[in-house]
Amino acid sequence: MGPGGRPPGRRRPLAGRLDRDVRAWALAALAGILAVHALPALPAPAWLLPPLLLCLFRFPGRTLAAVAALAFAYAVLLGSWLHSQRLPATAHGQERWFTGHVAGLPEVDEFRTRFRFETGARPRYVRVSWYDRPPALAPGDCWRLRLRLSAPRGSLNPGGFDYEAWLWRERIGATGYVREAERCADDATAPLARWRHAAAGRIAAALDGDPVTGLVQALSLGERGDITDDQWRVLRRTGTTHLFAISGLHVGLIAAAVFLGLRRAVPWLYPRPRPAALTVAAAAAALAATGYALLSGFDLPARRALIMTLAVLAAVLLRRRTAPSRLLAVAALAVLAADPFAVLAPGFWLSFGAVAWLLYLAGGRGRPGPAFWLRLQPALALALLPLTLYWFGEASLAGAVANAVLIPAFAVLVPAVLLTVLAALALPALAGPLLAALAVVLDAGWRLLAALADVPGAYLVLPTPGLPALVVALAGAAWLLAPRGVPGRWLGVLGLLPLLLGPPAPAHGGFRLTLLDVGQGLAAVVRTAEHTLLFDAGPRYRTGFDTGAAIVVPYLRSQGVRRLDRLVLSHGDIDHRGGVAAVRAALPVAATLGVDQAAPCRDGRRWTWDGVEFRVLHPGPGDWRGNDASCVLSVTGPGGRVLLTGDIEAPAERRLLAAHGESLRAAVLVVAHHGSASSSSAPFLAAVAPDYALVPAGWRNRWGFPAAAVRQRLREAGAEVRVTGAQGALRVDVDPVDGVAAPRAWRAQAARFWRAAPGP
């Protein structure tokens, strides 16, 4: 007889069914939640009743359908409630007083402090920026703040970071900056957050500017704010960013160290009577993993990692032999139940994907030998390549080597870092020597990692694959990495080929204009069949945010652009040239044209690419200064013309009318000076007679661009007006046969319920 008096081989019916079906249930729940995330808007709750009622009837697959329907309904209802907690667009720009507490660790830089503010009102969480030498802030501090509020919104471009999705995942209902502030005495307790804040400060003070300070804080506290841009570059190029962000690996290593240590130590320490070493070790490992996750701030990656670890330890405590794939399914169900919007995070797919691929690579291969472990990291890197390209547009070729060495090393390093930091904090007198010794070890390893990052070909940049290409590539990788005996495994390479293909280029004689959404600035990309031109590179702000690095370069890479054939700088204003350094650092630039360049913009310059003529129309003769010195570029193909005007104002427009007259006619006009009333004069617009007027202006910017008078003049000229801040990146295709297509707005194309709707 088995345990509990049951015959061997027989299991409790419910437990057996749960164990058997949990993988299918996890996939069904994931499918239901993904269906919600594909929607441009959330349905009304009443629409949830029909599918839920349908599941009451018997039909094949009813259970899975019910799980998917319940997951769908859960995500919709939670999403609807979260939407109700957000600042509506109609309240954008309002100023309101809030009394609340600093939540989490503030981010401090040279010009501002940013922090999450828990208001106790609606919206509950506001991401606040405090400029002009703010006071020192700590988690739990109570403040009464007058905030200038902004609806949760960001620039939206192909290939760019989805800031609005990040705000949604973080439950941030508004952003804002401080106008007035009053300290209040009702501080929240927040003992753990305050301890983390104090610990981060002590680490920084003890290391006193050492370059590895950010790495130590990341490994021990999950705080990555002090990791420099150059260090992130090294981590990306070597495929090791996951090693310096608290994830399943770190939580699992802490749990494994405690479990294995106590598993051996308990019987040795207490031989008579012998306690249940396995139970003690598993319980202690669960407590250690929970403590480490809390220590790291308990954000989404840490919660996900803890759930996965606890699922494994629970199986150990229950003495159940459970397939690893079922444990993974249980962890996925728990993560989705805790937060159905976790699927918006790349880490969700990469962490669960990595474990799933490991199980696949180990399955059906018998007892793994040394050769298997040698092949594991390259195989895993190949398997994760499609997902990495889909989320980041780049992948590390050096990652297999780096991870093969570092993951075993981190099994020792992570517990050592944590113990060193805890000892240094408990004994302040030893903090300096202990952390200095740790810094020596990390610095030596970091130099090797940085050298690997600079090896030619260390990382790969490819166009961002679409969803169909991603699915095909994953299937190809599964076939290619299948166990021996599967016929034609090499054919899996064919499934990976779509990863090499970017969006189709325009036909000969055609071209494509993309006006990027860079806020209050300008960056426009013109592509012909074989050439690419960038007209301005967007702004860079004193806070360090660089649209060249954050928007322009990711867009170019997502489109498969490997070099710029020409960079045109319209004039010297920072909102047009701020991103130039980042663009030049990321891509080779064959030639630069601009008012202050060796090849200046001058009326009469022209060239032809792939049957498309580029012609500079301004500045002409004379001493042009400021906005009126802007370069004006005409792009003409058999299908139509586009006119890019920089920041010219009425005097330059009069000069263009006198010099070029009827040749100014263009189907598409990139409106000058972001729609300022000092530009786009009625005579100029009458000469251009655009069908479409594209305005590069930030959403509800403080200048009110495009001005109401400009909108009126454009309408009177017969133009349809599109604004990047309201509609995201704008794309216009000019076909040599079919002519000019209507502009396509990225905010409408990529509409999702967590994103703001396109505006006028």
Question: What contacts 583, CB < 8 A, 6 or more positions away?
Answer: 534, 537, 548, 552, 553, 556, 564, 567, 589
Token readout for 745 is 């707005």
Angle, CA 605 vertex, CA 599 and CA 607 arms, to 5°: 105
The 8-class DSSP code of residue 557 comes to H
Question: Which amino acid, residue 247?
Answer: S
Coil, strand or helix at 459: strand
Residue 596, pLDDT above cutoff 80? no
What confidence score (pLDDT) does residue 82 get? 95
Cis omega (within 30 of 0) for bond into 340: no
Q: Which of 145-159, 300-314, 504-518, 685-699 has the lowest mean pLDDT?
A: 300-314
More confident: 18 or 247: 247
Please give the model's pTM, rounded to 2 decimal places: 0.91
How many Å apart are CA 152 and CA 164, to the nearest integer?
A: 6
Residue 367, pLDDT above cutoff 80? no
Residue 5, pLDDT above cutoff 50? no
Max CA separation in the chain (angstroms): 103
**Residue 116 β-bridge partners:** 103, 127
Residue 12's pLDDT band, with cuts at 50, 70 and 90, is very low
What confidence score (pLDDT) does residue 229 get? 85
How many Å apart are CA 186 and CA 380, to the nearest integer?
A: 51
List, in sequence order, the alpha helices (H) in 141-247: 163-169, 191-207, 213-221, 229-237
The closest of 515, 538, 273, 232 to 396, measured between CA atoms, is 232
For residue 4, how many other CB atoms are within 10 A of its CB?
A: 6
pLDDT tens digit sequence for 70-124: 999 999 999 999 999 999 999 999 999 999 999 988 998 888 999 999 998 999 9
How many Å apart are CA 235 and CA 231, to the nearest integer?
A: 6
**Measured CA distances, 216 to 46, 240, 304, 425, 722 (Å):** 51, 15, 22, 13, 47
Residue 146, pLDDT above cutoff 60? yes
Token readout for 512 is 């494509």
> Count H helices, E strands: the chain?
26, 22
In 592-710, DSSP assigns E strands to 592-594, 606-609, 612-618, 632-637, 640-644, 668-670, 692-695
Percent residues over pLDDT 90 in the chain? 57
What confidence score (pLDDT) does residue 18 get? 53
How many Å apart are CA 114 and CA 106, to the nearest integer?
A: 6
| Per-range mean pLDDT, top range of 93-97, 220-224, 238-242, 350-354 | 93-97
Residue 595's pLDDT band, with cuts at 50, 70 and 90, is low
Angle, CA 83 vertex, CA 77 and CA 88 arms, to 5°: 160
Token readout for 28 is 């069904």
- N- to C-terminal Cα distance for the chain? 74
Q: Are 651 and 627 in contact (CB under 8 A)?
A: no
How many Å apart are CA 447 and CA 456, to the nearest integer?
A: 16
Residue 11, pLDDT above cutoff 80? no
| Per-range mean pLDDT, top range of 159-168, 311-320, 418-427, 451-460 | 159-168
pLDDT tens digit sequence for 269-307: 666 555 577 788 888 999 999 988 888 888 777 887 888
Q: Are 275 and 219 in contact (CB under 8 A)?
A: no
Percent residues over pLDDT 70 in the chain? 93
Q: Which of 187-201, 457-471, 517-531, 703-717 has the lowest mean pLDDT?
A: 187-201
How many Å apart are CA 514 and CA 532, to the nearest integer?
A: 11
Coil, strand or helix at 492: helix
DSSP letter string, 580-597:
HHHHHHHS-BS-EEETTS
Residue 377, pLDDT above cutoff 70? yes
What confidence score (pLDDT) does residue 460 get? 85
What confidence score (pLDDT) does residue 301 get? 76
Residue 23, pLDDT above cutoff 60? yes
Q: Which of 266-275, 568-577, 585-594, 669-678 has the lowest mean pLDDT?
A: 266-275
**Helices 399-426 and 248-269: crossing angle, nearest 10°?**
60
Residue 475, pLDDT above cutoff 70? yes
Coil, strand or helix at 735: strand
What confidence score (pLDDT) does residue 623 get? 86
How many Å apart are CA 478 and CA 472, to the nearest integer?
A: 10
More confident: 434 or 732: 732
| Per-range mean pLDDT, top range of 63-67, 352-356, 744-748 | 744-748
For residue 712, how many other CB atoms are within 10 A of its CB?
A: 12
Residue 589, pLDDT above cutoff 50? yes
Residue 3, pLDDT above cutoff 70? no
Coil, strand or helix at 20: helix
Cis omega (within 30 of 0) for bond into 139: no
**Measured CA distances, 431 to 201, 206, 216 (Å):** 12, 6, 13
* Average pLDDT in the chain: 89
More confident: 728 or 194: 728
Residue 409's pLDDT band, with cuts at 50, 70 and 90, is confident
Torsions phi, psi for 8 (to 5 deg): -55, 140
Residue 14's pLDDT band, with cuts at 50, 70 and 90, is very low
The position carrying tokens 């070729």 is: 397
DSSP letter string, 230-294:
HHHHHHHHTT-GGGGS--HHHHHHHHHHHHHHHHHHHHHH--SSPP-HHHHHHHHHHHHHHHHHH
Question: What contacts 32, CB < 8 A, 6 or more positions away?
Answer: 67, 68, 69, 70, 71, 72, 75
Per the rule left: phi > 0, alpha: psi between -120 and 50, beta: everything else, 62 is alpha
**Measured CA distances, 210 to 227, 397, 602 (Å):** 11, 29, 50
